[in-house]
Amino acid sequence: MKDEPSNPAVKVHGSKADITIVDKLTITDKSSKMPAIQVEKQGKLVLAGEVDIQNVYKGIVADGKGSSVTVTKGVIGVRGDYVIGVKNGGTVTLIDGVKVNGGGIGVKDGGTVTLGGEVKVQGSMGIVFMGDKGTANATVMGVGAKINLASGSTGAVMMGDGALMLNTVTIEGVGVGARVTKGTLEVTKGSIQGTTVGAEVSGSGVLEVNGRATIVGTTMGLRVTGSGKATMMGGSIQGGGSGGSYGVIVDTSGTVELSGGVEVSRFETGVYVKGGTFKMTEGEITGDGKGTGVYMEGGVTLSGGVDISRFATGVRVEKGVLIMNQGSVKGFTGTGVMVGSEVKSASLMGVEITGDGKGTGVMMMGGDVKLDNVRIKGVAMGVMMEKGGKSLTISGSSTIEFVGDGVGVGVWGEVKSAELTQTVITGKGSGTGVYAERGTLIIEKGTTIDFKESGWGVYVKGGIKNVSLTGTTITGEESGYGVYAVGGDRYDDDVR
């Protein structure tokens, strides 16, 4: 929004100018690039009668703190630039019933726009905030108001220092719902609906979403790159159910924090952390039986009961550190939690992992993995430790239930150690409670292994270094074996 000479059709200037027009106001201009109405220097204008503004280049401008324009009814049609412009703290209010077509809403260095109805924008951007005054604040409010744009456009663009608040506003019909590169965009209630991307934060931009607002993006819900940050309290991030789609993407040094029960649904990948940090407290991540719930190459913290369901893989960690406290991973068709070879550590506490009767509860190929009070069931393989896995610790009254000829805990490959304390392993077929062929195996302090049919309680192969069973109960039925060991150093104490 550029400063231009003042020769609009209607101009109100100065703090003593307080004007109300009750008659019909008609403005038509096919050539000028000036606004139809301009109010400045604390002037006030109320259009109480019918307004018919058509084919103008710019609609209404309110410039300066204390300057205001109120339109109660009528039509505003713009052929070129913005339909509403506020600068330096100006205020524009459109009462419900005012019809607006053409350009979007421009904000420079602060101001307030209140919308009572629907704004149809023909341009490439709906709301644009710009300026370099870091203390500038702007608000666009609307009770049920809609900003409807052409497909491929951007709903809200935050590209200036300061803060822009969208309060109870719905943005729809756009390619990208909101784009933030500088400053802070605050969204309260309402919804941002992009046909491709819901919201995108880059550079030093900040996005704050609360009041159970909704972000919709067919291929991507929320993306944060650069040093950008996004926080969301309550509400939902919704996709279109298409392949190759992502609910949340965190890249480079970006940060995303979801709290208050945010629901992420209908994406092939719920959350993808390529870099930066992702934290989620409470809430749900739901798929349709394919893809991955959380795929991470950075730092991820899931706490307070995050429920991940209906993916092929619930959580896949390739790098960094995973912390999951409470919550669940359910309805997966492949693996509940997969820990890659370059992972530093993964810690699960109070988590419930439930498969569909096949698949693996936890598969680890690297890092130090700790399971505390974790409940695994509905799987063929409870916990698999292979390749470069460092250490596995299962404790805190954890339970593992597996079916068929599977394995409760399996240790393959070059691993350091596996330690089970106060753990209950139950097999419901001809499988093996604990299978180990590498590293050191320690089973102690109240661990119980219960196997059926012709299975094995503990099966140890020749590649194992040390085996220690202390205070362990092994119960079998029919023709199975309690402990089968070949090679390695073995120590048994109080084994029943």
State pLDDT tens for residues 351-364: 999 999 989 999 99
The predicted pLDDT at position 431 comes to 87
How far is Cα 233 from Cα 258, in angstroms, rounded to an integer? 6
SS3 127: strand
Q: Look at residue 301 and give its three-state secondary structure.
A: strand
pLDDT of amino acid 103: 82
Arithmetic mean of pLDDT, 64-69? 96
Residue 456 has a pLDDT of 86
> pLDDT value at position 1?
47
- Residues spanned by the domain of 2: 1-103
Predicted pLDDT of residue 492: 52
Domain-located, residue 364: no
Residue 388 pLDDT > 70, yes or no? no
CA 85 to chain centre: 32
How many residues are present in the chain?
A: 496
The residues that bridge with 329 in the sheet, in sequence order, are 308, 353
Identify the residue with better confidence: 290 or 32: 290
Rounded percentage of the chain residues whose pLDDT exceeds 70: 94
Structure tokens at 282: 């409470």
pLDDT at 4 over 70: no
CA distance 345 to 390: 9
Q: What is the pLDDT of residue 471?
A: 87
Residue 380 within a domain? no
Q: Which amino acid is at 118?
A: E
pLDDT, tens digit (0-9, with 9 covering 90-100), for 419-431? 999 999 998 878 8
- The string of pLDDT tens digits covering residues 151-161 is 778 999 999 88
Supply 197's token pair: 């991307």
Domain end, chosen from 103, 129, 147, is at 103
Residue 156 lies in a domain: no
More confident residue, 410 or 134: 410
Name the domain boundary from 103, 124, 149.
103
- DSSP collapsed to 3 states, 222-281: EEECCCCEEEEECCEEECCCCCCCEEEEECCCCEEEEECCCEEECCCEEEEECCCEEEEE
Comparing 205 with 484, which gets the higher pLDDT? 205
Instruction: Quote the CA–CA distance of 282 and 327 in Å, as a whole number.
Output: 8
Q: Let me know if residue 314 belongs to a domain.
A: no
d(CA 295, CA 320): 11
Banded model confidence at residue 134, pLDDT cuts 50, 70, 90: low
Question: Is residue 191 included in any domain, yes or no?
Answer: no
What are 205-242's pLDDT values in tens digits?
999 999 999 999 989 999 999 999 999 999 999 998 77
Instruction: Please report the DSSP string for 179-206 in residue order.
Output: EESSSEEEEESSEEEEEEEEEEE-TT-E
pLDDT digits (tens, 9 = 90+) for 159-215: 988 899 999 999 988 899 999 999 999 999 999 998 899 999 999 999 999 999 999
| Per-residue pLDDT at 445 exceeds 90 | no
Q: Is 60 exceeded by the pLDDT of residue 2?
A: no
Contact between residue 35 and residue 8 where contact means Cβ atoms under 8 Å apart? yes
Q: Give the up-direction half-sphere exposure of residue 368: CA atoms within 13 A in the CB hemisphere.
A: 4
Nearest Cα residue to 192 out of 230, 162, 160, 228: 230
| Residue 316: C-alpha distances to residues 50, 273, 277, 428 (Å) | 60, 10, 15, 27
Distance, in Å, from the CA atom of 213 to the CA atom of 194, rounded to the nearest integer, reads 14
In this prediction, residue 375 carries a pLDDT of: 98
Note whether residue 345 is domain-resident: no
What domain count does the chain have? Answer: 2
pTM of the predicted model as reported, rounded to 2 decimal places:
0.90
Report the SS3 class of residue 173. strand
475 domain residue, yes or no? yes
Compute, in degrees rounded to 10, the torsion defined by CA atoms 225, 228, 233, 239: -20
Per the CB < 8 A criterion, the answer to whether 78 and 72 are in contact is: no
Q: Supply the pLDDT for residue 89.
A: 92
CB 286 within 8 A of CB 265: yes
pLDDT value at 486 more than 80: no
Residue 478 confidence (pLDDT): 66
Lowest mean pLDDT among 145-149, 286-290, 304-308: 145-149
Q: What is the mean pLDDT of the chain?
A: 89
- Residue ending a domain, among 68, 103, 138, is 103
- Asked if the model's pLDDT at residue 282 lies above 70, the reply is yes
Q: Is residue 406 included in any domain, yes or no? A: yes
